[in-house]
Amino acid sequence: MDFFYPNPQNDMWRIIGQIFFGDKQHFVVQGDKVQNTKRRKAVFNYEAIVSFCLKQGIAIFDTAQAVIRLQGNAADEHLEIVEQTDIAAILQQIPQCHDICCTGGKAAETLSEILHTPTPKVGEYIETTFADRTVRFWRMPSTSRAYPLSLDKKAAAYQRMFHTILTRTNE
């Protein structure tokens, strides 16, 4: 994959578009017709996403460096974590980072192990000390359409998180 959340069936970039631009289609580009159908495949504007994330100071990375897919999909129950990401090393490179957000159950479970802290409830955070700083570990709703929550409700949860982070950053 060229970047994170590239699957048009994942709503991450629609949620971000809704929150920051009031338009869930902000990062969506209509692609070529899907072969043998009348539908057009939606794709995301990679350059606009990268530019936005850099401007906002949003970094995205996996909680695992090596994963085995036990079946032909990315469902949490079919993923085996072989090597966790060295979050402490990443935080050393980003001294201004004090919030970490997970968007899925397996990622949250893995980060809980790395941070040696319980997993927060969906839409909430736990404050902990890790890598010589206080960090807020957010457990957000999955942006997958398989997660049983409407895009509007997911966007509202993410909006609360971003509002909290930006309010604290500007204090």
Residue-level pLDDT, tens digit, the chain, 171 residues: 577 888 888 999 999 999 999 999 999 987 665 555 565 567 899 999 999 999 999 999 989 889 888 887 766 777 888 888 999 999 999 999 999 999 988 899 999 999 999 999 999 999 999 999 999 999 999 999 888 899 999 999 999 999 999 887 666
Distance CA 32, CA 41 (A): 6
Residues 6+ apart with CB under 8 A from 151: 11, 14, 15, 18, 24
Distance CA 150, CA 126 (A): 24
Contact yes or no for 98/136 (Cβ under 8 A): yes
The single-letter code of the amino acid at 47 is: E
Strand extents, DSSP E, the chain: 28-33, 40-44, 64-69, 79-84, 99-102, 124-130, 133-139
What are the backbone angles phi and psi of residue 51, rounded to the nearest 5°? -60, -45
- Give residue 169's pLDDT: 67
